[in-house]
């Protein structure tokens, strides 16, 4: 599964390297090469829903999210994505003999970004490799999944280089767990409505407040 994500991440890093070699062209402000991209760093609040093992058998706690978005074309961005959160098992009869899990996702995002009155608004799609690192007394193991998500984002520019953001996220994890057919609906996938907020660091002088 992880091998399927490697080409995506390689593409993002190649895009970053190519962008760094571009020659500035002041002809069009919207094509300003100094709008390199941005980094968002913030809290990540997971909210599971539906009839699935995570929603039925765990209490989730906050984690963090980091995204590096690189402008490859005016209004278009790509970049790597990382998030994590923790969960405590509340129903061992359903989930098995372990006590807690740490979920982390590494993947990539692509989307469209535009600017309105000191606000940056973006619509992004992502795909990633999701790992549930499960821990119990003498029983540590991992479950894996492919994560897909859609995340609109609103950021407010405090100055040229710094802003604050808030972003909801609809996410589905397609789980890779072998279970009897009667349990596939419960263990086959997890639905999330996640929230994140924090700091946005703008890279380049093109983000000056107008």
In a domain, 26, yes or no: no
Residue 81, domain CATH: 2.40.160.20
In a domain, 104, yes or no: yes
Give me the pLDDT at residue 6, please. Answer: 52
pTM of the model: 0.82
- The pair of structure tokens assigned to 131 is 């790992």
Spatial distance between the Cα atoms of 191 and 170, rounded to a whole number of angstroms: 8
Spatial distance between the Cα atoms of 36 and 18, rounded to a whole number of angstroms: 11
Give me the pLDDT at residue 48, please. Answer: 96
Spatial distance between the Cα atoms of 145 and 1, rounded to a whole number of angstroms: 8
In a domain, 161, yes or no: yes
In a domain, 80, yes or no: yes
CB atoms within 10 A of CB 3: 7
Give me the pLDDT at residue 14, please. Answer: 52
In a domain, 25, yes or no: no
Could you give the dihedral angle defined by the CA atoms of residues 133, 125, 9 and 66, in that order, rounded to the nearest 10 degrees?
-60
Bridge partners of 105, per DSSP, are 83, 130
Domain carrying residue 180: 2-20+33-207
In a domain, 28, yes or no: no
Give me the pLDDT at residue 45, please. Answer: 98
If one counts the domains in the chain, the total is: 1
CB atoms within 10 A of CB 46: 24
78 contacts 12 by C-beta, under 8 angstroms = yes
Residues in the chain where the model's pLDDT stays below 70? 1-33
């Amino acid at each position: 599964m992880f091998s399927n994500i490697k080409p995506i991440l390689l593409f993002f890093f190649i895009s970053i390297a190519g962008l760094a070699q571009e020659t500035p062209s002041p002809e069009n402000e919207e094509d300003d090469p100094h709008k390199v991209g941005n980094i968002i760093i913030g809290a990540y609040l997971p909210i599971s829903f539906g009839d699935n093992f995570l929603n039925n058998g765990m209490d989730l706690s906050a984690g963090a999210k980091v995204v590096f978005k690189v402008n490859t074309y005016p209004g278009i961005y790509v970049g790597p994505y990382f998030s994590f959160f923790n969960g405590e098992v509340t129903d061992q009869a359903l989930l098995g003999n372990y006590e807690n899990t740490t979920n982390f996702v590494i993947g990539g995002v692509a989307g469209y970004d535009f600017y309105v009155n000191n606000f940056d608004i973006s619509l992004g799609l992502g795909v990633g490799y999701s790992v549930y690192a499960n821990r119990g007394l003498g029983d540590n193991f991992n479950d894996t999944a492919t994560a897909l998500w859609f995340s609109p984002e609103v950021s407010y520019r405090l100055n040229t280089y710094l802003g604050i953001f808030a972003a909801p996220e609809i996410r589905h994890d397609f789980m890779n767990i072998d279970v009897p057919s009667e349990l596939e609906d419960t263990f086959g996938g997890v639905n999330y409505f996640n929230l994140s907020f924090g700091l946005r660091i703008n890279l380049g002088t093109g983000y000056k407040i107008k």
